Amino acid sequence: MPWEIDPVHSQATFSVKHMMFSTVRGQFKVLSGHLHIDDQNPQNSWVDAQVDAASIDTRDERRDGHLRSPDFFDAQNYPTLTFKSTKVEHTGGNEYNVTGDLTMRGVTRPVTFKAEYLGQGKNPWGLTAAGLSAKTKVNRKDWNLNWNQALEAGGWLVSDEVTIEIDLETVQKPEEAQQAAAKEAATTEQ
């Protein structure tokens, strides 16, 4: 049974060095996706997730507008960033390496997230929920996010290295809800 990312209880965040000595953090407010967790055979697990590039939020509207522009994410032409796993490896305990294809600005590159499965339980609405976290570092220039500005004292305004952190709460839908959704989708397609 597939799991669905609960966007209200999940976050896709990033951090980057600004002026070489401070850290700017941001998030994408709109995220969605599905995953499959196979406790017995982790190599059969997978994730397919996306974020809305225009939903970027760094707590500064001017900076957010610049990040949406062609200098960075070019959200008008590339409205989503996606991650599709290609391999899940159990590394011990509740820890995993999740390798997959990260696509930004139409460029796809492989990345590996260090992930932790945090467990599961029933939520107040009677659905089974699971928690996961994942972290990786990437070089933004690998996705043609090249804009920068030289500093008068030397160095650059924005670092190339970006830390990405994902905190997910996923919900396992009951069988009846899945069947109803499939039936509705089939009716809509006709």
**Residue 175 pLDDT greater than 60, yes or no:** yes
> pTM higher than 0.75, yes or no?
yes
* Interatomic CA distance for residues 148 and 164, integer angstroms: 19
Cα 164 from chain centre = 8
* CATH 3.90.79.10 given to domain 3-189: no
Q: Is 63 exposed, middle or buried (0-12, 13-18, 19+ CB in 10 A)?
A: middle
In this predicted structure, what is the pLDDT of residue 177?
46
Mean pLDDT across the chain, nearest whole number?
Answer: 91
Whether 62 shows a pLDDT value over 70: the answer reads yes
At 75-93, the pLDDT tens digits run: 999 999 999 999 999 999 9
Which segments of the chain does DSSP mark as H helices, in order? 61-68, 175-189
Distance from C-alpha of 160 to C-alpha of 166, rounded to nearest angstrom: 19
- Report yes or no: 49 and 31 within 8 Å, Cβ to Cβ: yes
pLDDT at residue number 176: 43
Indicate the burial class of 168 (C-beta count within 10 angstroms; 0-12, 13-18, 19 or more): buried
Average pLDDT over residues 133-153: 93
Give the β-pairing of 95-104 and 80-92.
antiparallel
Task: Give 127's DSSP letter.
Answer: -
Farthest-apart Cα atoms in the chain, separation? 64
Res. 135: pLDDT tops 70: yes
Domain boundaries, the chain: 3-189
